[in-house]
Amino acid sequence: MNKPIKNTYEAIRRRRRFLEVLGAAGMAAALPRGAAADEPSRTLRIGYQKFNTLNILKGTGRLEAALTPLGIAVRWYDFAAGPQLLEALSAGAIDFGHAADAPSVFAQAAGKDVVYLAAERPYPKGIGLVVRRGGDVARVADLKGRRVATGRGWNAQYLLVRALDEAGLSYRDIEPVYVTTAADARATFESGRVDAVTLWDPFLAAAELDPRAYTLRDGDGLSNNRTFYLTSPRFLASHAATLRQVFGILAETDRWAHEHAREVADLLAPQLGVDGAVLYRSTQRRSYGAVPVDPAIVAEQQRLADAFLQLKLLPTPIRVADAVATTSVLA
């Protein structure tokens, strides 16, 4: 592995390990004391994850510029992953945030008090199944009987399920090796203990820039790998107008991000401690923009939920449509 990519991987791994240690409880403790009950009504508390649309919005400062003159303060809270963010949202510690497709269905199955507001456009090339270049796995069917590093309930695990099915295999035909973070998944793969690994951007992009690895199958045609925007029913009922303002500014930021991949990479690189080349590769293949959660997107989410139910990872069947907000807040 060349030195820039090695440094990129180490930076990602160190940051992810630190954030994972916080966990849901640690993140809640990090929020201002009494945040759920004592925050002024004109403060918008946003949960975000690194390398995503809200992270870009935060970096531009456009939301503060638009809301501060209206008397609305904005506070940002960084979460390690979607499950922790959705836990805080359900508990009332934040007002609004985003999460990937898989954590969203798990939150619904767990009875979390959250609703879908909107979805991001498809990002199928942002998840992938990675193998060693020059190895004896040349197609997905070659994974039969092999060890694959993945995480329980990951959107990339869903890609693995769909890719195996496409190749005429079932999940039982492989030996999953479960890890808890993308950094651990990559380290397990590099150790030689597994034959393949499931990753998402920017970890996937970092792996692809390593000449020893390549993406065997991405999400194209299998998973749209969407990000969803969510809030609590209570906040939506009383602050729909504020959320519409947020989505109006977000739409402007998304248009800018869609046309300026290099600038997005430069904006996020110092925040994430990730090499700009990795972020540029990731942003180049992403289409930004929030869209309504229409019946087709609900059907996508339902297929994902049903797949995890069959794997006995989802504790109970859910009806995704029940968690879609009936009030539109898109600009």
Residue-range domain boundaries for the chain: 22-122+226-323, 124-218
| CATH number at 124-218 | 3.40.190.10
Q: Higher model confidence: residue 60 or residue 143?
A: 143
Mean pLDDT of 108-130: 96
Of residues 318 and 315, more confidence is placed in 318
Residue 259 makes CB contacts below 8 A (sequence gap 6+) with none
pLDDT at position 331 is 66
Query: Which residues does residue 147 pair with via DSSP β-bridges, in sequence order?
Result: 175
Q: Is the pLDDT of residue 80 over 50?
A: yes
Mean pLDDT calculated for residue range 189-202: 95
**How far is residue 237's CA from residue 246's CA, in Å, rounded to a whole number?**
15
In the structure, what pLDDT confidence band is assigned to residue 77 with cuts at 50, 70 and 90? very high
For residues 226 and 116, the answer to whether their CB atoms sit within 8 Å is: no
Strands (E), the chain: 43-49, 73-79, 96-100, 115-120, 127-132, 147-150, 175-178, 196-200, 213-218, 227-231, 290-291
Same fold, 22-122+226-323 and 124-218: yes
Flag whether pLDDT at 88 surpasses 50: yes
Give me the pLDDT at residue 114, please.
96
- d(Cα 87, Cα 229) in Å, to the nearest integer? 14
Mean pLDDT of 121-138: 95
CA distance 116 to 300: 14
Q: What percent of the chain has pLDDT over 70?
A: 87
| pLDDT score of 49 | 87
CA–CA distance, 75 with 80 (Å, rounded to integer): 17
pLDDT of residue 15 exceeding 80: no
The confidence band for 152, taking pLDDT boundaries of 50, 70 and 90, is: confident
State the average pLDDT over residues 265-287.
90
pLDDT over 80 (residue 207): yes
Adjacent-strand bridge partners of 291:
119
Strand, helix or coil for residue 324: strand
Answer for the pair 212, 29: CB distance below 8 angstroms, yes or no.
no
Burial of 309 (0-12, 13-18, 19+ CB in 10 A): middle
pLDDT at 12: 41
- For residue 283, give the amino acid letter: T
| Tokens representing residue 235 in the block | 């906040």
Averaged pLDDT of the chain: 87
Q: What pLDDT score was predicted for residue 18?
A: 35
Q: How many CA atoms lie within 13 A of 106 on its CB side?
A: 21
Q: What is the mean pLDDT of residues 9-13?
A: 44
**C-beta atoms surrounding 215 within 10 Å:** 16
* Average pLDDT score over residue span 204-216: 94
The predicted model gives 117-127 an average pLDDT of: 96
> Is it the case that residue 33 has pLDDT exceeding 50?
no
Which residue do the tokens 């160190």 mark? 14
Q: What is the pLDDT of residue 66?
A: 94
The amino acid present at 164, given as its one-letter code, is L
Q: Residue 21 has what pLDDT?
A: 34
For residues 225 and 20, is the Cβ–Cβ distance under 8 A? no
Task: Classify 200 in phi/psi space as left (phi over 0), alpha (psi -120 to 50) or beta.
Answer: beta
Instruction: Round to whole Å and give the CA distance between 329 and 327.
Output: 6
Give the length of the chain: 331
Report residue 95: phi and psi, to 5°.
-105, -25
Looking up tokens 């020893």 gives 212
Q: Quick one: pLDDT at residue 8?
A: 42
- The CATH class that applies to domain 22-122+226-323 reads alpha beta
Tokens of 92: 């009332």
Instruction: Give the Cβ contact number of residue 11 at 10 Å.
Output: 17
CA distance 140 to 195: 11
Give the pLDDT band of residue 45 (cuts 50, 70, 90). Answer: very high
pLDDT of 30 strictly over 90: no
Query: Is 150 in contact with 233 (CB distance < 8 Å)?
Result: no
Structural tokens at position 187: 């380290």
Whether omega before 202 lies within 30 degrees of 0, making that bond cis, reads yes
Distance CA 70, CA 125 (A): 39
Residue 242 has pLDDT above 90, yes or no: yes
Structure confidence at residue 3 (pLDDT): 40
Q: Looking at the predicted structure, is the pLDDT value of residue 180 above 90?
A: no
| Mean pLDDT, rounded, for 244-257 | 94
